[in-house]
Structure 1
Amino acid sequence: MADRTERLRAWLRGHLDGEVPVLTPASADASFRRYWRLSRHPSRGGGSLIAVDAPPEREDSAGFVRLARALRAIGLNVPEVYAQDLAQGFLLVGDLGERQYLDQLHPNNADRLYGDAIGALIALQSAGPREGLPDYDEPFLRRELGIFDEWLLDGLLALPRAEQDRPMLEITYDLLVESALAQPRVCVHRDFHSRNLMLTEQGNPGILDFQDAVIGPVSYDLVSLLRDCYIDWPEERVQSWADAYFALAVQCGVLAEEHAASFAAWFDLMGIQRHLKAAGIFARLALRDGRPDYLGSLPRTLGYVQQVGMRYPALVPLASFVREGLMPRIAARVDA
Structure 2
Amino acid sequence: MTVRLPEGVKPFLEAAAWGDAAIEPLAGDASFRRYFRIRAESGATAMLMDAPPPHEDPRPFLHVAKYLCGAGFRAPQILAEDLARGLVLIEDFGDDRMREHIDAHPEDEVAIYTHAVDTLVRLAKAPVAQLAAYDAAAYLRETALLAEWYLPAMGIATDVAEYEAIWREALAPLCENKWQQVTVLRDYHAENIMLLSDGEQGLIDFQDALAGHPAYDLVSILQDARRDVSPELEAAMLDHYRREAAVSPDFDLHYALLGAQRNAKIIGIFTRLWKRDGKERYLSFLPRMWGLLERDLAHPGLVKVRDWFDRTIPQEIRASSPLDLVA
TM-score for the superposition, normalised by structure 1:
0.86
1:235 aligns with 2:214: no
Where does the alignment leave 5 or more consecutive residues of structure 1 unmatched? none
RMSD: 2.5
- From 136, 147, 150, the equivalent of 1:149 is 147
Where does the alignment leave 5 or more consecutive residues of structure 2 unmatched? none
How do 1:298-317 residues align onto structure 2 when only pairs under 5 Å count?
298-312=286-300, 313-317=303-307
What is residue 179 of structure 2 aligned with on the other side? 184
Verify the 8 A CA contact 1:296 1:334 in the aligned structure 2: no
Verify the 8 A CA contact 1:70 1:128 in the aligned structure 2: no
How do 1:23-172 residues align onto structure 2 when only pairs under 5 Å count?
23-40=23-40, 42=42, 46-106=43-103, 107-131=106-130, 133-154=131-152, 156-157=153-154, 159-161=155-157, 164=158, 166=160, 169-172=163-166
- Name the SS for the 1:91 alignment partner: strand
Indicate how the Cα distance of structure 1 residues 58 and 36 shifts in structure 2: closer, same or farther if over 3 A, else same: same
Verify the 8 A CA contact 1:190 1:212 in the aligned structure 2: yes
Verify the 8 A CA contact 1:70 1:129 in the aligned structure 2: no
What is residue 212 of structure 2 aligned with on the other side? 216
* Identical residues among aligned pairs (%): 30
Verify the 8 A CA contact 2:52 2:85 in the aligned structure 1: yes
Tell me, in whole angstroms, the C-alpha distance in 1 between the residues paired with 2:58 and 2:74: 18
Q: Deviations over 1:165-211 (max 9, x none)?
A: 65763454134422432573311101111111111122521100111
Q: Deviations over 1:14-41 (max 9, x none)?
A: 323532x332222321111100012255
Verify the 8 A CA contact 1:306 1:323 in the aligned structure 2: no
Q: Deviations over 1:103-145 (max 9, x none)?
A: 12254211111111112122222225432x1111111111111
2:321 is aligned with what amino acid? I
Indicate how the Cα distance of structure 1 residues 18 and 24 shifts in structure 2: closer, same or farther if over 3 A, else same: closer
Verify the 8 A CA contact 2:7 2:85 in the aligned structure 1: no
Q: How many residues get paired?
A: 319
Tell me, in whole angstroms, the C-alpha distance in 1 between the residues paired with 2:231 and 2:169: 23
What is residue 7 of structure 1 aligned with on the other side? 8
Verify the 8 A CA contact 1:219 1:267 in the aligned structure 2: yes
Verify the 8 A CA contact 1:39 1:49 in the aligned structure 2: yes
- From 290, 297, 304, the equivalent of 2:285 is 297
Verify the 8 A CA contact 2:65 2:76 in the aligned structure 1: yes
How far the C-alpha of 1:290 sits from its partner, in A, is 2.2
Tell me, in whole angstroms, the C-alpha distance in 2 between the residues paired with 1:40 and 1:237: 41
TM-score for the superposition, normalised by structure 2:
0.88
Tell me, in whole angstroms, the C-alpha distance in 1 between the residues paired with 2:326 and 2:39: 40
Tell me, in whole angstroms, the C-alpha distance in 2 between the residues paired with 1:175 and 1:27: 41
- Name the SS for the 1:190 alignment partner: coil
Q: Deviations over 1:32-63 (max 9, x none)?
A: 11000122554xxx531111110121222112
Indicate how the Cα distance of structure 1 residues 323 and 12 shifts in structure 2: closer, same or farther if over 3 A, else same: farther
- Name the SS for the 2:8 alignment partner: helix
- Name the SS for the 2:6 alignment partner: helix
How do 1:239-258 residues align onto structure 2 when only pairs under 5 Å count?
239-250=235-246, 255=247
